[in-house]
């Protein structure tokens, strides 16, 4: 398996979307290359492809197409719960039980409606689906990101496999699933990173990472300082992943591919320059997008793949 991040006019992680993340450059198409025959299907709105070991899926759901199932439930909460319930049903049907990596895209992520920020509404629905599926919401959870777009449906792309991941946390940060209630009624359901195991390979997926120490945003209003703090967090995650990894040599930021989400288009050149100085020649793509906290100006997700020596 290999991954190629290609600037194109098509959209994100295998699907097409009318709202590109960036207004200053084409959106990104993440292309996963596999060397085994693929089976394709469509189930409950999910377009999916799989081989014997992995499944890649994509679903888009309009919030207005889902009826809330409880009093006080917002349309976004209902939609996010429905998306994840469908996702988990598909994984059970396909006997591909282990969720590796998820990319979530939602409109107006920092906006408020129904008395609650929309990202926090999304977290409520996602958490409920994890609980309903009897999945561990405090540890064995996938790497993930939640990114804001201007408008459009709730879009979720995901990669699952036949083998479980090894979750990776960051010693500098409180695990996201342990966040206090000041960040919403339910904490986000993801790990800081995950090690996944396609046949003969070890893949490190680092979740969206930002300028957070403990559970608090640091350097508000300073995009350069936030870039530097983000890289410090990435370094700590990579060190922890290398400690847990089966492959050699150790993972290194300079050998990974990175995608930066930048809140303000006017900051993109500064973010590119700052991150390039810290990451060296590693592939880096920058796109304009909103981030899960309104005081975060940049977020970076990363990934790398190593071959495993035969036993």
Kindly list the catalytic residues.
Answer: 299
H/E run at residue 106: strand 98-107
Cα–Cα distance, 220 to 62 (Å, whole number): 33
User: Nearest 5°: CA angle at 97, between 175 and 250?
Assistant: 50
Contact 33, 2 (CB under 8 A): yes
- Structural Rg of the chain based on CA atoms: 18
Collapsing DSSP to helix, strand or coil, 88 comes out as helix
Token digits for 80? 């996010």
Token digits for 150? 């201007």
Cα–Cα distance, 147 to 126 (Å, whole number): 15
User: Nearest 5°: CA angle at 180, between 174 and 184?
Assistant: 120
Cα–Cα distance, 98 to 50 (Å, whole number): 13
């Amino acid at each position: 398996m290999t991954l190629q991040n290609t600037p194109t006019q098509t959209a994100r992680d295998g699907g097409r979307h009318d709202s590109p993340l960036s207004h200053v450059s084409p959106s990104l198409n993440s292309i996963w290359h596999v060397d085994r025959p693929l089976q394709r299907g469509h189930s409950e709105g999910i377009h999916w492809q799989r081989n014997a070991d992995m499944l890649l899926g994509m679903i888009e759901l309009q919030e207005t197409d889902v009826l809330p199932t409880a009093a006080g439930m917002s349309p976004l909460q209902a939609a996010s719960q429905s998306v994840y319930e469908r996702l988990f049903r598909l994984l059970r049907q396909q006997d591909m039980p282990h969720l590796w990596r998820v990319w979530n895209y939602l409109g107006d992520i920092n906006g408020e409606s129904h008395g609650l920020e929309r990202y926090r509404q999304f977290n409520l629905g996602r958490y409920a689906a994890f609980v309903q599926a009897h999945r561990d919401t405090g540890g064995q959870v996938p790497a993930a990101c939640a990114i804001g777009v201007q408008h459009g449906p709730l879009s979720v792309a995901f990669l699952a496999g036949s083998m479980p991941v090894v979750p990776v946390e960051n010693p500098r940060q409180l695990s996201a699933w342990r966040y206090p209630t000041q960040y919403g009624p339910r904490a986000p359901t993801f790990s800081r990173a995950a090690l996944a195991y396609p046949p003969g390979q070890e893949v490190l997926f680092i979740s969206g990472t930002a300028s957070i120490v403990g559970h608090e945003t640091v350097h508000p209003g300073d995009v350069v300082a936030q870039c530097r703090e983000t890289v410090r967090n990435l370094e700590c995650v990579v060190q922890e992943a290398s400690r847990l990894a089966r492959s050699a040599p150790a993972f290194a930021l300079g050998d990974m591919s990175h995608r930066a989400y930048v809140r303000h288009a006017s900051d993109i050149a500064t973010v590119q320059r700052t991150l390039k100085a810290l990451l060296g020649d590693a592939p880096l793509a920058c796109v304009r997008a909103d981030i899960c906290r309104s005081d975060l100006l940049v977020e970076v997700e990363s990934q790398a793949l190593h071959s495993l020596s035969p036993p």
